[in-house]
């Protein structure tokens, strides 16, 4: 007997039960939800008055299995703004169905989150990008989605969102502009870029032919996460902002001896983490003073 997509869907009631359990455990009522990518979990450490939950202790929550993902849900305040932060996310290559990967985003919604900030580590396809650049995501290519692996497959519950959500405005343009402005003020202009992110299933890194193809399709960076979360966040009516830290240059030359590896991803994350944290913290501060951006 084969499983269908609906077998993996989580009902509104199941998501609400988990959200309600968390709300009983903490007095923080987050307006901003942050998802930390590989090596970027330090974002959660800058939250004040922390209340921390290990994923394994949260009812029906997935477990993170990837090095560089701590597997903790951290509630607290950032510059006075109540936030919740995922130290570690979930991926298709861990064997989870896409509906389970995105379950935390639905729980964010039911916790009261209105704006989601996502970060990831990515390989640079744009030849003008350098390792250590931070790319503001303005759009995406959902390669697994082309094959029907979309988190919205299965029954639709109108309490979350409509059956056919628009994705042409998935990435909030006002938040993109805010990030660009804040980045310039912080002196990050030399390494702050913008571009299109392409998601693949992983866990193997891309071949040279795949990188060349994706670049020709218009992708500036490639990774194994984020897009599924963006789709669910928009389905739930939340505003979305996303950043990619370029941790390696994708190999597109058959004569190159460069090889992509996860250790390089984590090391670059450590080197650039402080600037990325400053950028996100400054953005949240500005959002606090402009409720239109929440």
pLDDT in tens, 93-132: 999 999 999 999 999 999 999 999 999 999 999 999 999 9
Query: 54 — phi, psi (to 5°)?
Result: -75, 140
Provide the greatest CA pair distance for the chain. Answer: 58
Q: What pLDDT score was predicted for residue 2?
A: 47
Q: Is 225 a catalytic residue?
A: yes
d(CA 54, CA 35): 15
Among 157-166, 256-265, 266-275, the range of highest mean pLDDT: 157-166
Task: Out of 121, 122, 242, 273, pick the active-site residue.
Answer: 121
**For residue 50, which phi and psi values (nearest 5 degrees)?**
-70, 140
Residue 254 is a catalytic residue: no
Q: Are 35 and 86 in contact (CB under 8 A)?
A: yes
- Which of 10-14, 114-118, 231-235, 274-278 shows the lowest per-residue confidence on average (mean pLDDT)? 274-278
User: Which pLDDT score is estimated for 170?
Assistant: 98
Place of tokens 């503001």: 136
In whole angstroms, give the CA distance from residue 211 to residue 253: 10
* 64 catalytic residue (yes or no): no
Q: Are 182 and 282 in contact (CB under 8 A)?
A: yes
What angle do the packed helices 12-25 and 103-111 form, to 10 degrees? 60
pLDDT at position 270, please? 76
For the question of residue 91 being annotated catalytic, the response is yes
94 catalytic per annotation? yes
CB-count burial class (<10 Å; 0-12, 13-18, 19+) for 139: middle
Q: Is 248 a catalytic residue?
A: yes
Q: Exactly one of 140, 242, 248, 283 is catalytic; which is it?
A: 248
pLDDT (0 to 100) of residue 30: 97
- Known catalytic residue: 4? no
Q: Which of 69, 140, 228, 235 is catalytic?
A: 69
What is the CB-side half-sphere exposure of residue 94 using CA atoms within 13 A?
A: 18
Which of 55, 64, 91, 277 is an active site residue? 91
256 is catalytic: no
| Residue 140 appears among annotated catalytic residues | no
Q: Which of 210, 262, 281, 288 is catalytic?
A: 262
Strand pairing class (81-87; 221-223): unpaired
The backbone torsions φ and ψ at residue 205, rounded to the nearest 5 degrees and listed phi first, read -70, 165
pLDDT surpasses 50 at 59: yes
Pairwise CA distance, residues 210 & 29, whole Å: 43
- Over the chain, what is the mean pLDDT? 91
Comparing 127 with 79, which gets the higher pLDDT? 127
Residue from 64, 120, 225, 244 carrying the catalytic annotation: 225
Name the token pair of 155.
């029954």
User: pLDDT of 192-204, one tens digit each?
Assistant: 999 999 999 999 9
Res. 69: pLDDT tops 90: no
250 is catalytic: no
Active site residue: 94, 206, 229, 277, which one?
Answer: 94
CA 76 to CA 53: how far, in whole Å? 12
Choice among 26-30, 154-158, 222-226, 249-253 with the minimum mean pLDDT: 249-253
Domain 25-153+163-293 indexed as CATH 3.40.50.1580: yes
């Amino acid at each position: 007997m084969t499983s269908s997509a609906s077998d993996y869907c989580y009902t509104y009631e199941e998501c609400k039960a988990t959200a309600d359990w968390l709300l009983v455990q903490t007095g923080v009522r987050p307006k901003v939800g942050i998802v930390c990518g590989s090596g970027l979990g330090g974002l959660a450490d800058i939250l004040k008055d922390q209340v921390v939950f290990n994923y394994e202790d949260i009812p029906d929550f997935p477990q993170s299995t990837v090095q560089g993902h701590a597997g903790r849900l951290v509630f607290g305040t950032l510059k006075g703004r109540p936030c919740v932060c995922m130290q570690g996310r979930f991926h298709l290559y861990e064997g989870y169905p896409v509906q389970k990967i995105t379950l935390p985003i639905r729980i964010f919604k039911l916790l009261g989150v209105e704006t989601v900030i996502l970060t990831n580590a990515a390989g640079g396809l744009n030849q003008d990008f350098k390792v250590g650049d931070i790319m503001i995501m303005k759009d995406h290519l959902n390669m697994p989605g082309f094959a029907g692996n979309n988190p919205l497959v299965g029954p639709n519950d109108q309490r979350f969102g409509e059956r056919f959500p628009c994705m042409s405005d998935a990435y909030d343009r006002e938040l993109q502009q805010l990030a660009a402005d804040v980045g310039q003020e912080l002196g990050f202009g030399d390494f702050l870029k913008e571009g299109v992110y392409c998601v693949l299933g992983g866990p193997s890194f891309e071949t040279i032919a795949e990188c060349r193809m994706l670049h020709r399709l218009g992708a500036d960076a490639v990774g194994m996460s984020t897009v599924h979360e963006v789709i669910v966040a928009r389905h739930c009516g939340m505003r979305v902002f996303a950043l990619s830290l370029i941790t390696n240059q994708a190999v597109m030359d058959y004569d190159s001896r460069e090889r992509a590896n996860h250790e390089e991803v984590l090391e670059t994350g450590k080197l650039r983490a402080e600037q990325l944290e400053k950028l996100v913290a400054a953005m949240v501060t500005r959002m606090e003073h402009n409720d239109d951006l929440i």
